[in-house]
């Protein structure tokens, strides 16, 4: 089923390699009206009829806000070396700019202390999409340049408070989804559907990144702290070497990948992107000096990887259309669904090989820049088993295999010389998966959404062994060691 064999017990990561798990504020915290938190665009969006599967919202989510201590203990049990979480901007500055909410800062400050007390390094993302609604109302959100300056001030406030303790900082998580899904296709908050707006949003996110990196450098004091950005740089593979298929790959790569890596890492917007989007925008939102501001040295590149994007030319492109399509130029690109691949519950193809090739290629493209896999994981249907002794277990063999395959692929990339320094499982907990609501479960720890009870899944036992030893564990051994094979089966519940 998978194209990677995991060698039992012999593959070891160097001790400097960071293994951890990721979450994001809106997906796990809940408590949206507590602790002085302001409204975010995801509150508004999730409360808008028809936007989210089953009408789900992040109001309660995994209730992490109230269960921080329990979750910290869980992380310690999993031997995580690091925990990547995001900060809810409206918890810190409820109106996006202006008044600071000390209770919000205290929540994250305590979280950071709780991590350090357990020997877990804190890794912070400043923007995982939950923009204060006030900035959407005032400036059009990321469509507006002012939002980038508001972000700079927010970064400075957080850097000032947590900068003595946080190990790694990311300005943004996946600005691609933030801009193109948020302002172009309309799939994500705030639901905008103009490609010109998506491009403006991308630029303002880039600008905010540059301003944010500078704000962090001014305020952080932990000597070994590193500053980064988490990009979902797509691994794009053309179906053939034909000029048409390669052109489709180029179009997609320009608008999805190089629109961010160009200004951030090379100091320029790609000429082909400007040309491709000429009829959509004159790029007048790029002011003199912006690209220099964006092009700040960073210490680390975060990469989120889930699947390979197989593309070919669309033989009969419909006329270019405005909103609702995924990205400008998408009418010329076809996504190929490879029938031979195993697929997750998100219908994403399982290809660990893609991660290996990606890490090797990115290392060659950006020499000297260490790469951290900041997200990788899978949704599968989980079965919760209630055992006769009253304990519960989730034997998520498919997710464990997914993780094992991708961890092994990361290790192979390392052996091939890729400059990869860490791997983070998405996600620590089952959580609010954006427009898909609570249906897909990505957690290595199961969350019962009625009781909010946490049940570590087989994958978490496997991951804990990996984190504790640095050695990629054998699957069968994990189950036995965790005594998950024991106990008579009393009942089976299929999680919705």
- Residue of 24, 213, 233, 467 that binds ligand FCB (CB under 6 A): 24
Residue closer to ligand FCB (CB basis): 29 or 433: 433
Q: Residues binding ligand FCB: what is the number (CB under 6 A)?
A: 12
Question: Is residue 105 within the footprint of ligand FCB (CB under 6 A)?
Answer: no
Stretch that binds ligand FCB, among 104-112, 173-181, 216-224, 321-329 (CB under 6 A): 173-181
Q: How many CB atoms sit inside 10 A of residue 9's CB?
A: 12
| Cβ at position 130, least distance to ligand FCB in Å | 11
Report the residue from 57, 125, 171, 173 that binds ligand FCB according to the rule CB under 6 A: 173
Residue 174 annotated in active site = yes
| Dist. CA 392–CA 63, nearest whole Å | 20
Q: How far apart are CA 407 and CA 409, in angstroms?
A: 5
Rounded to the nearest 10 degrees, what angle do helices 68-77 and 102-117 cross at?
30
Q: Which of 101, 125, 161, 177 binds ligand FCB (CB under 6 A)?
A: 177
Q: Which stretch binds ligand FCB (CB under 6 A): 13-21, 147-155, 277-285, 426-434?
A: 426-434
Q: How far is the CB of 287 from ligand FCB (least distance, A)?
A: 29
Query: Residue 154 or residue 234: which is nearer to ligand FCB going by CB?
Result: 234
Burial 370-395 (b: 16+ CB within 10 A, else e): bbbbbbbbbbbebebbeeeeeebbbb
Helix (H) or strand (E) holding 103: helix 102-117
Q: Which is nearer to ligand FCB, 370 or 437 (CB)?
A: 437
Binding flags for ligand FCB, 362-381, as an x/- string (CB under 6 A): -------------x------
Encoded one letter per residue, x for contact with ligand FCB by CB under 6 A and - for no contact, window 303-342 reads -x--------------------------------------
Least separation in angstroms between CB 250 and ligand FCB: 23
Which of residues 245 and 326 has its CB atom nearest to ligand FCB in the complex? 326
Residue 245, interface with ligand FCB (CB under 6 A)? no
DSSP labels, 237-292 = EESSSSHHHHHHHHHHHIIIIIHHHIIIIISS--HHHHHHTTTT---TT--TTHHH
- Exactly one of 285, 426, 438, 463 binds ligand FCB (CB under 6 A); which one? 426
Give the pair of three-digit tokens for residue 211: 């301003």
Catalytic hit among 152, 375, 433, 474: 375
**Which strands form 489-494's sheet, in the order they lie side by side?**
392-394, 383-387, 489-494
**Looking up tokens 């998520």, which residue turns up?**
396
Which positions ≥6 away from 403 have C-beta within 8 Å? Answer: 376, 377, 378, 425, 444, 459, 462, 463
What gap in Å lies between CA 205 and CA 194, rounded to an integer? 16
Q: Is 434 in the site for ligand FCB (CB under 6 A)?
A: yes
Rg (CA), the chain: 22
Nearer to ligand FCB, 156 or 396 (CB): 396
Measuring CA to CA, which residue among 476, 443, 437 is closest to residue 51?
Answer: 437
Using the contact rule CB under 6 A, the part of the chain among 104-112, 172-180, 269-277, 317-325 near ligand FCB is 172-180
Look up 375 and say whether it is catalytic: yes
Cα 102 from chain centroid (whole Å): 27
Which residues are known to be catalytic?
174, 375
Residues that bind ligand FCB (CB under 6 A): 24, 27, 173-174, 177, 232, 304, 375, 426, 433-434, 442
């Amino acid at each position: 089923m998978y194209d990677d064999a995991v060698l039992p017990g012999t593959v070891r990561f160097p001790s400097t390699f960071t293994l951890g798990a990721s979450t994001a504020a809106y997906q796990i915290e809940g408590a949206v009206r507590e602790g002085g938190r302001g409204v975010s665009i995801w509150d508004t969006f999730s409360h808008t009829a028809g936007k989210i599967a089953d009408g789900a919202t992040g109001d309660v989510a995994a209730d992490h806000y109230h269960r921080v201590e329990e979750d910290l203990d869980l992380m310690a049990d999993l031997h995580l070396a690091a925990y990547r979480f995001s900060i809810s901007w409206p918890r810190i500055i409820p109106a996006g700019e202006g008044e600071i909410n000390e209770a919000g800062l205290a929540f994250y400050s305590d979280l950071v202390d709780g991590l350090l007390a357990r020997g877990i390094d804190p890794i912070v993302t400043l923007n995982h999409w939950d923009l204060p609604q006030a900035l959407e109302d005032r400036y059009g959100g990321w469509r507006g340049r002012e939002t980038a300056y508001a972000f700079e001030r927010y970064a400075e406030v957080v850097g000032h408070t947590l900068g003595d303790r946080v190990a790694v900082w990311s300005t943004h998580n996946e600005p691609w989804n933030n801009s193109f899904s948020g302002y172009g296709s309309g799939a994500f908050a705030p639901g905008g559907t103009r490609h010109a707006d998506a491009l403006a949003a991308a630029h303002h996110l880039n600008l905010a990144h540059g301003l944010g990196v500078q704000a962090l450098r001014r305020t952080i004091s932990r000597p070994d702290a590193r500053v980064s950005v988490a990009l979902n740089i797509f691994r794009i593979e053309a179906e053939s070497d034909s000029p048409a298929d390669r052109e489709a790959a180029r179009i997609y790569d320009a608008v999805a990948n190089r629109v961010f890596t160009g200004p951030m890492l090379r100091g320029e917007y790609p000429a082909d992107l400007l040309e491709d989007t000429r009829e959509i925008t004159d790029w007048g939102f790029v002011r003199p000096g912006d690209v220099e501001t964006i092009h700040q040295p960073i210490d680390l590149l975060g990469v989120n990887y889930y699947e390979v994007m197989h593309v070919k030319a669309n033989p009969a492109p419909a006329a270019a259309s405005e909103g609702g399509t995924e990205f400008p130029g998408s009418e010329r690109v076809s996504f190929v669904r490879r029938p031979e691949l195993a697929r997750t519950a998100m219908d994403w193809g399982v290809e660990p090989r893609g991660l290996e090739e990606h890490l090797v290629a990115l290392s060659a493209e950006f020499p000297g820049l260490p790469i951290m896999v900041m997200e990788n994981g899978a949704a599968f249907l989980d079965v919760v088993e209630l055992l006769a002794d009253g304990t519960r277990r989730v034997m998520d063999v498919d997710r464990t295999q997914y993780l094992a395959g991708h961890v092994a692929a990361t290790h192979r990339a390392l052996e091939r010389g890729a400059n990869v320094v860490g791997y983070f499982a998405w996600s620590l907990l089952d959580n609010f998966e954006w427009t898909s609501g609570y249906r897909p479960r990505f957690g290595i720890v199961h969350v019962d959404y009625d009781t909010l009870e946490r049940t570590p899944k087989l994958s978490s036992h496997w991951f804990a062994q990996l984190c504790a030893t640095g050695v990629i564990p054998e699957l069968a051994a994990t189950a036995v060691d965790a005594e998950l094979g024991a106990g008579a089966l009393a009942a089976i519940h299929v999680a919705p």
